[in-house]
A and B are shown apart, each in its own frame.
Chain A
Amino acid sequence: MEDGVKKFLYVNRKAPYGTIYALEALEVVLIGAAFDQDVSLAFLDDGVFQLTKAQDTKEIGVKNFSPTFRALGDYEVTKLYVEKESLDERGLTADDLQEITYEDEDDDWAEKPSIIIVSRSEMADVMAGQDVILSF
């Protein structure tokens, strides 16, 4: 790990449109990406709803920010941990989530998946391995 680089985890536990948490989290991630830290995102509980496919907010008059998750790779945010149990509890599978990829600069720009499905105990390990945890 380079000097001064810390591990930051943004924890997302809320559904996308009922409250402002999800959008605020995403904006903080995009702004924070300028600081060249080791950033990961965690999606658990209702947070997994943020990543579902086919969101269309036209008729509720708010911005659909789900496409913005696909831009995270450009910001070198390439680790999106999604909790399997949270998906299961909500009747979702990995196939219900949109595809999010990044281009690996160190591997001839090969396109790789950003979403990493983890168990609850693996998620606990991810959390325990961080320097800073920001909750939304």
Chain B
Amino acid sequence: MSYEVDGQEIATDEEGYITDLSDWTPELAEVIAKAEGVEMTDEHWAVVNFLRDYYEEYQIAPAVRVLIKSIKKSMGPEVGNNKYMYELFPYGPAKQACKIAGLPKPTGCV
């Protein structure tokens, strides 16, 4: 499996997570999101950007409950709750948003 951005092919693992994290660009995020059936809104971008910042700082993608707790703290309870996050990312906010953010699957996700 791979994605294509501007004629460039981006390699992924069998689940669609990109293999070289430095390949990521916002354009690629849009392409991955489309493949996932997700229409990127400002709220989606806020989560994706949060994940990228978290990874940059701690070198891990947070577990979903950590993600939701942190989002709740930084963006308020109307965004930082399970229901809303699953509306944004139906296949799981950690799993699917990490894929779009160009990060590895969160530790402990199967």
Contacts and interface: CB of A to CB of B under 8 A. Distances in A.
Direct contact of A and B (CB under 8 A): yes
Contacts of A64: 59
Given A67-B57, A74-B70, A27 B107 contact: yes
Contacts of B69: 74
B98 to A, nearest CB: 14
A68 B70 contact: no
A34 interface: yes
A34 B65 contact: yes
Interface residues of A, number: 14
A63 B107 contact: no
Contacts of A31: 107-108
A41 to B, nearest CB: 16
Contacts of A67: 57-59
Interface string B49-62: 00000100111101
Contacts, number: 35
B60 A30 contact: yes
Nearest to A70: B58
Interface string A31-56: 10110000000000000000000000
A65 interface: yes
Contacts of A70: 57-58
A68 B59 contact: yes
Contacts of A30: 60, 63, 107-108
A63 B107 CA distance: 14
A71 interface: yes
Given A68-B60, A71-B60, A71-B62, A34 B70 contact: no
B59 A74 contact: no
B58 A75 contact: no
A27 B109 CA distance: 12
Interface string B93-110: 000000000000001100
27 contacts: A27-B107, A27-B108, A30-B63, A30-B107, A30-B108, A31-B107, A31-B108, A33-B63, A34-B65, A34-B108, A63-B59, A64-B59, A65-B59, A67-B58, A67-B59, A68-B59, A68-B60, A70-B57, A71-B54, A71-B57, A71-B58, A71-B60, A71-B66, A74-B62, A74-B66, A74-B70, A75-B66
